[in-house]
Amino acid sequence: MTYYYRLGKIPPKRHTQFRNDSGELYHEELVSSLGFSGVYSNIYHKNPPTNVKKVGPSTPYSYKILKDYGLKMTHLKTSGINYTGNDFLESRVPLMVNSSCIISICYPDQLSMPYIFKNADGDEMIYVYEGQGNLNSQFGKLPFKKGDYIVIPRTTMYQIEVEGEIKPKFLIVESKAPIETVGRYRNELGQLLEHSPYCERDLHPPIEINDYSDHKGDVEMKIKKGDALHQYFYGYHPFDIVGWDGFLYPYTFSIYDFEPITGRIHQPPPVHQTFQARGAFVVCSFVPRLFDYHPLSIPAPYNHSNIDSDEVLFYTEGEFMSRKGIDTGSFTLHPGGIPHGPHPGTMEKSIGKKETKEYAVMVDTFAPLHLTENCLPYLDEEYPYSWQ
Ligand SMILES: [Fe+2]
């Protein structure tokens, strides 16, 4: 759920004749979620979006679950990783998965994608840990930079182009449920309320429609559906649109625009909530903020027993005050069923501190997560005992 937006040329009334200067009809496409009950957009193409030149072979694209890992507090020492593969799909490494989501890192070596990608399985949230560039899609050009969350509705056809010399690093959460702004921060008509930690001005839609009229040659698209990548070829550029309008489109939100909610005593994680995927997970942003101001407050969090969620933290900037031995770029997983809390000494050390400069992205899932075999090189075997 974002807000109504329009870009480019659209006819005054939907589902009516809309022609180019030569009198030819444009091709309208309704892109709708939850059948016809969710948010949607109407897109106007120069070519029929159904016109496929060739369907290529499908190739397996999946992961292997790490068997017999057990119930353990987990630290993945992923901070030293500079790249995880060549292109955008090869470098996408699933680390933690369940039936509703896949949490991956993606540190590609290449700065552009020679093909278009479409995820037909789920929405994607890409957190830009490093780098900047544009996400081009049938909705136009969407600039992104370090610290942005890019929220991409399923079946959006996109191509990432990186700008500058910094190799990109992405955290990617793929979700079976739609990824939305937080429901309790919206009024009954969908507008973000006054006490929301962000508002519509902080959500950035695509800025312009790219012109592909000079494009020559076939365009390859890789579509993820099931445990496979399906290869399609088009004889024109599929981003060949003249305009669109609606509520469904990719957008960015910067973690640097999240306005923290603070209190006299320690505020619980829901104050950091940024997105929701109903029944599946929440995403929270930990950002620099003033600490609790009760005279006897303890800024470090209290011990906490997740009785019905698994908690993943990706540490992105600064020093995380309740943890020892965790670097930026690392993950922790604190699974439901056992308590977790501040490392020894950090509670006492936090007293009297006025502020934190930490940044972290948290994903709390409601179904237990499984580690994949991709985690094996990064497991910190000592972490479960680091509270001794
Ligand atoms: Fe927690």
Q: What is the pLDDT of residues 42-86, one digit of tens each?
A: 999 999 999 999 999 999 999 999 999 999 999 999 999 999 999
- Rounded to the nearest angstrom, the distance between the alpha carbon of 308 and the centre of ligand 1 is 11
Q: Residue 324 has what pLDDT?
A: 73
> What's the CA gap between 335 and 371, in Å, rounded?
11
182, 274 contact by CB (below 8 A): yes
- Rounded to the nearest angstrom, the distance between the alpha carbon of 303 and the centre of ligand 1 is 8
- Rounded to the nearest angstrom, the distance between the alpha carbon of 195 and the centre of ligand 1 is 23
Residue 58 pairs in a beta bridge with 230
Alpha helices in the chain (DSSP H): 346-350
Q: Residue 1 has what pLDDT?
A: 61
* pLDDT tens-digit readout, 131-186: 999 999 999 999 999 999 999 999 999 999 999 989 999 999 999 999 999 999 99
* Neighbour order of strands in the sheet with 359-365: 74-76, 331-334, 310-317, 359-365, 281-286, 273-277, 179-181
- Rounded to the nearest angstrom, the distance between the alpha carbon of 302 and the centre of ligand 1 is 9
- Rounded to the nearest angstrom, the distance between the alpha carbon of 312 and the centre of ligand 1 is 9
Strand-strand pairing, 228-234 and 310-317: unpaired
- Rounded to the nearest angstrom, the distance between the alpha carbon of 154 and the centre of ligand 1 is 29
214, 208 contact by CB (below 8 A): no
Among 205, 249, 248, 244, smallest CA distance to 11 is for: 244
- Rounded to the nearest angstrom, the distance between the alpha carbon of 139 and the centre of ligand 1 is 37
Full DSSP string of 75-133: EE--TT---SBSSTTTTEEEEEE-SSEEEEEE-BS-SB-SSEEEESS-EEEEEEEE-EE
> What's the CA gap between 323 and 139, in Å, rounded?
41
- Rounded to the nearest angstrom, the distance between the alpha carbon of 333 and the centre of ligand 1 is 10
- Rounded to the nearest angstrom, the distance between the alpha carbon of 306 and the centre of ligand 1 is 7
Q: Which residues surround ligand 1, an ion (CB under 5 A)?
A: 304, 311
- Rounded to the nearest angstrom, the distance between the alpha carbon of 340 and the centre of ligand 1 is 7
> What's the CA gap between 222 and 159, in Å, rounded?
11
- Rounded to the nearest angstrom, the distance between the alpha carbon of 360 and the centre of ligand 1 is 13
- Rounded to the nearest angstrom, the distance between the alpha carbon of 283 and the centre of ligand 1 is 13
- Rounded to the nearest angstrom, the distance between the alpha carbon of 223 and the centre of ligand 1 is 36
254, 317 contact by CB (below 8 A): no
- Rounded to the nearest angstrom, the distance between the alpha carbon of 108 and the centre of ligand 1 is 31
> What's the CA gap between 232 and 229, in Å, rounded?
10
- Rounded to the nearest angstrom, the distance between the alpha carbon of 5 and the centre of ligand 1 is 37
Q: Which two tokens stand for residue 15?
A: 């589902």
- Rounded to the nearest angstrom, the distance between the alpha carbon of 342 and the centre of ligand 1 is 10
- Rounded to the nearest angstrom, the distance between the alpha carbon of 66 and the centre of ligand 1 is 24
- Rounded to the nearest angstrom, the distance between the alpha carbon of 300 and the centre of ligand 1 is 12
Question: Digits of tens for pLDDT over the chain (388 positions)?
Answer: 679 999 999 999 999 999 999 999 999 999 999 999 999 999 999 999 999 999 999 999 999 999 999 999 999 999 999 999 999 999 999 999 999 999 999 999 988 899 999 999 999 999 999 999 999 999 999 999 999 999 999 999 999 999 998 999 999 999 999 999 999 999 999 999 999 999 999 999 999 999 888 888 999 999 999 989 999 999 999 999 999 999 999 999 999 999 999 999 999 999 999 999 999 999 999 999 999 999 999 998 999 998 999 999 999 998 776 677 789 999 999 999 999 999 999 999 999 999 999 999 999 999 999 999 999 999 999 999 999 9
Task: Count Cβ atoms below 10 Å from residue 324 Cβ, excluding itself.
Answer: 15
- Rounded to the nearest angstrom, the distance between the alpha carbon of 67 and the centre of ligand 1 is 25
- The burial class, CB within 10 Å (0-12 / 13-18 / 19+), for 194 is exposed
Buried b (16+ CB within 10 A) or exposed e, 225-243: eeeebbbbebebbbbbbbb
Per this entry, what is the length of the chain?
388
- The burial class, CB within 10 Å (0-12 / 13-18 / 19+), for 267 is middle
